[in-house]
């Protein structure tokens, strides 16, 4: 460990992939000026979605200001990076660049997205024969001794504060071994970057204590899966929440148009915000995850919920409940904003909000896709999202995830859609 006031020894260059995972390379901290001036080259063909092997030289460049010292290991500091082509142009498959472009489109209309995600994850123990089990047997809002993760979450919260990431709360979630940390509301790019850093911190701290933090949405078939519900609202340049309404506890007409846009594009959005084979095993009735394309006040069976709030204009928001923590936060926010802006542009109106328990109704409310391959078909047909995110990255996602689907089918056998296969554990347990 470094002494107080000493510079770190290593600089971790952190970036994200078109499929939402995080990658890094470390250099000596004293090369920071050189990195800022010249960037660092890497083999883009070794990361799915970035480059072909015959044209694979890509470049990392710092995307944010001063590097952040890792609170859990002060020998190293983290520098968030963007990905560039060898020509010096921003790479169109870099999720940060995709989000920047969508946010720029919003800002041209005087609309700025703020968000606050709830990051759920499991703490698990991996046995020598590669079986996994929850690290504790607690339930929702459990206390000790059932909540075996309390001390770990406190350490995680302290580290997030050390990284300059404001948080709201932490607690044990519904399933055994399942936990949640909430990030405070802020601008969309800040939030997306903070989710990357938070996932890294959570994983590093758990690893140092002898267990594993996994952002796999559904590691256990019989337990609730992990989501990453995204609370969000649009603001103008003067700091006014445009989702606020004169009637306390309700949202504005603009929010209605935004919701309608998300609902219109929901089948395609699912491929971005629930991006894996395993994601769709979370989106099943009975586990507090959405299955229907519906919205309503305080209703956790809907895809979009209007949370209870005290009437304060600043707190007016919607909660998009479809995303899970395996998704790219940059692409998720880019896609949902593009869908919402489409609803605003065309003055779309959502259906009537529902207070029904949609797990136990036989009405004709449309359903979310039931599998990754279904969602990918919808994404292929959604010209609005392809144009907003970029044809190249959408094509890359469809190609990679389609191959993933057929790889899964080869190994799934007769296990069906409910069981969690060994292939999924091997593929997703350690991915972040």
Question: Rounded distance, CA 274 to CA 256, Å?
Answer: 23
Separation of alpha carbons 291 and 350, rounded Å? 17
Using alpha carbons only, give the angle 364, 417, 288 rounded to the nearest 5 degrees.
55
Strand partners, 187: 114
With residue 379 as reference, give the H or E element that holds it. Answer: helix 372-381
Q: What is the phi/psi pair of residue 123, to 5°?
A: -100, 120
**Contact yes or no for 96/31 (Cβ under 8 A):** no
DSSP of 389-426, one letter per residue? H-HHHHHHHHHHHHHHHHHHHHHHTT-TTTSPPHHHHH
Q: Active-site residue numbers?
A: 43, 118, 120, 173, 180, 229, 300, 319, 321
> What letter would DSSP give residue 283?
S
Token output for 209:
């204590």
Distance from the Cα of residue 395 to its chain's centroid: 20
Phi, psi of 340, rounded to the nearest 5 degrees: -65, -40
- Whether 294 and 358 have beta carbons less than 8 Å apart is answered as yes
Report the distance separating Cα 269 and Cα 379, nearest Å.
7
Q: Helix-strand-coil percent breakdown of the chain, rounded to 5? A: 35, 20, 40
Distance from C-alpha of 334 to C-alpha of 326, rounded to nearest angstrom: 16
Element (H, E) at 339: helix 329-345
Contacts 24+ apart (CB under 8 A), 102-108: 102/333, 102/334, 102/337, 102/338, 102/388, 102/389, 103/188, 103/189, 103/334, 103/337, 105/338, 105/341, 105/388, 106/234, 106/337, 106/341
């Amino acid at each position: 460990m470094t002494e107080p006031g000493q510079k770190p020894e290593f600089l971790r260059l952190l970036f994200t992939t078109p499929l939402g995972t995080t990658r890094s390379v470390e250099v000596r901290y004293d090369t920071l000026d050189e990195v800022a001036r010249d960037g660092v080259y890497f083999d883009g063909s070794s990361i799915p979605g970035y480059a072909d092997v015959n044209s694979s030289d890509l470049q990392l460049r710092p995307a944010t200001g001063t590097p952040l010292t890792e609170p859990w290991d002060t020998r190293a500091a983290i520098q968030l990076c963007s990905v560039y082509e060898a020509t010096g142009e921003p790479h169109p498959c870099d999720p940060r660049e995709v989000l920047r472009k969508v946010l720029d489109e919003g800002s041209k209309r005087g609309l700025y997205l703020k968000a606050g995600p709830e990051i759920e994850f499991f703490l698990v123990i991996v046995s020598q024969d590669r079986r996994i089990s929850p690290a504790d047997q607690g339930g929702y809002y459990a206390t000790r001794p059932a909540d075996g993760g309390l001390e770990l979450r406190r350490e995680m919260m302290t580290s997030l504060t050390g990284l300059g990431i404001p948080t709201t709360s932490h607690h044990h979630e519904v399933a055994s071994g399942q936990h949640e940390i909430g990030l405070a509301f802020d601008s969309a790019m800040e939030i997306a970057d903070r989710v990357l850093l938070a996932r890294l911190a959570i994983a590093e701290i758990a690893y140092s204590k002898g267990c594993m933090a996994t952002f796999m949405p559904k590691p256990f078939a019989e337990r609730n899966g992990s989501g990453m519900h995204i609370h969000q609202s649009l603001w103008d340049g003067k700091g006014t929440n445009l989702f606020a309404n004169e009637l306390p506890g309700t949202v504005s007409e603009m929010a209605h148009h935004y919701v309608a846009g998300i609902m219109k594009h929901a089948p395609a959005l699912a491929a971005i915000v629930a991006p894996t084979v395993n994601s769709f095993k979370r989106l099943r009735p009975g586990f507090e995850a959405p299955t229907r394309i519906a919205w309503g006040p305080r209703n956790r069976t809907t895809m979009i919920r209007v949370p209870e709030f005290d009437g304060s204009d600043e707190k007016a928001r919607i909660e998009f409940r479809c995303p899970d923590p395996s998704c790219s936060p940059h692409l998720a926010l880019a896609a949902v904003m593009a869908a919402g802006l489409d609803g605003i542009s065309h003055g779309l109106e959502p259906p009537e909000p529902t207070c029904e328990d949609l797990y136990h109704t036989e009405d004709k409310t449309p359903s979310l896709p039931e599998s990754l391959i279904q969602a990918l078909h919808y994404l292929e047909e959604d010209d609005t999202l392809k144009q907003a995110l970029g044809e190249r990255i959408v094509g890359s996602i469809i190609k990679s995830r389609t191959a993933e689907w057929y790889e899964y089918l080869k190994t799934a056998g007769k296990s069906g859609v409910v069981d969690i296969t060994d292939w999924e554990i091997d593929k997703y347990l350690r991915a972040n």
